[in-house]
Structure 1
């Protein structure tokens, strides 16, 4: 069985300047930026906000992995094992986003109210999973922002076996490595590969400015052809508008 130490040295902090930039950028904009860099598969399927109006969050991924349930391993007794969701939560640093590979299983809740309350107490920024939670009212009451595919009453061991944390996982069909950057908002969760963070930080504010300018043109009655995306003439107009606002 895999251990929990493969990525124990990965830095899960984000510079305040980087966080400030990404907190102003929508996940929709991020997918456009990453598409331009050749990455098409960065939106984690099945990760919907559990509560309307949750804030946009930015954090490094702390990964957890489940595999299909096996009767000799997926038992209530396993919750006391050194390799358990309980132990993983105690290893989560403040500010991280827990990203959980639940294989899209929708009839076994990976975390309930007590585990979510403990994560909130430890300062974990949020929980993202392609699975479901249980004890819905309690999870909502814990104050932990959650993105998932829904809720179910049975516990995780009814359909899943927990095997590891801080290893590469597949969540919502996306490869997630410990330390990758996760941004979540009303449109779900988007992954920024850790090695592309600096490039995204440069491109994201410019993309937001461009789209805001295009929206302004649309509100004034401009037609879309040649505007979105902008042709050479409109690019020149946009660049001129930036100079006029400096």
Structure 2
């Protein structure tokens, strides 16, 4: 197993909220929520930006995808059009995309849920992007839901939200995050035994 794979496997044991105890940056706006319950994914970011009703760059991004990539979509100046639906979901699964994060809207939510494909988004819209345009960009630095994302940054997303950090920074946080993650069940067990939180925290 490569060091890269080992990092991602270890991160799958960590909740975004656990890292939220440690730092305050890197977290996308909480309006982004997953369409599937009890889902956690992590992987390197494959970035794409889309202007207005232009979905041109999405198929180009999928051509560059590597298995396990998390597709992160910046919707630029649009807050109405759905850029993701049933067709893109099947195409993404065929390309090996692990999940999609977008600061915009989706359509065909029933098909996406049926495919069990993780998508974090702002909600749904029947108004969709159009073919025949030629805008956007792939694998450039983007801003998704208030957070700068570079190609290859590590994305960790779960039922609590989405985190994007450089590989170096997430590597430095990992051991402490795993330690916190292990302590939480012990704290809950003590609370259930009747020990107060003040006592547990030594206050």
Give yes or no for TM over 0.5: yes
Say how many residue pairs are matched: 200
Calculate the TM-score normalised by the size of structure 1: 0.73
| Contact 1:103–1:131 (CA under 8 A) maintained in structure 2 | no
Deviation of 1:120 after TM superposition, in Å, equals: 0.6
CA 217–112 in structure 1, closer or farther in 2 if over 3 Å, else same: same
| Separation in structure 2 between the aligned mates of residue 170 and residue 153 of structure 1, nearest angstrom | 24
Unmatched 5+ residue regions in structure 1? Answer: 1-12, 235-246
User: Which residue of 86, 96, 100 corresponds with 1:127?
Assistant: 100
| Separation in structure 1 between the aligned mates of residue 10 and residue 64 of structure 2, nearest angstrom | 27
Deviation of 1:14 after TM superposition, in Å, equals: 6.8
The residue number in structure 1 matching 2:67 is 94
| Separation in structure 2 between the aligned mates of residue 94 and residue 188 of structure 1, nearest angstrom | 22
1:28 aligns with 2:12: no
Deviation of 1:118 after TM superposition, in Å, equals: 0.5
User: Which residue of 215, 218, 226 corresponds with 2:191?
Assistant: 218
User: Which residue of 132, 143, 148 corresponds with 1:170?
Assistant: 143
| Contact 1:109–1:131 (CA under 8 A) maintained in structure 2 | yes
1:48 aligns with 2:20: no
| Separation in structure 2 between the aligned mates of residue 15 and residue 147 of structure 1, nearest angstrom | 24
Deviation of 1:17 after TM superposition, in Å, equals: 2.0
Q: What does 1:99-118 align with in structure 2 at a 5 Å threshold?
A: 99-103=72-76, 105-118=78-91
The residue number in structure 2 matching 1:201 is 174
| Contact 1:61–1:98 (CA under 8 A) maintained in structure 2 | yes
- Superposed CA RMSD in Å reads 2.5
Unmatched 5+ residue regions in structure 2? Answer: none
Q: Deviations over 1:18-40 (max 9, x none)?
A: 2221111111002222x1xxxx2
The residue number in structure 2 matching 1:65 is 49
Deviation of 1:166 after TM superposition, in Å, equals: 0.9
Calculate the TM-score normalised by the size of structure 2: 0.87
Q: What does 1:171-186 align with in structure 2 at a 5 Å threshold?
A: 171-186=144-159
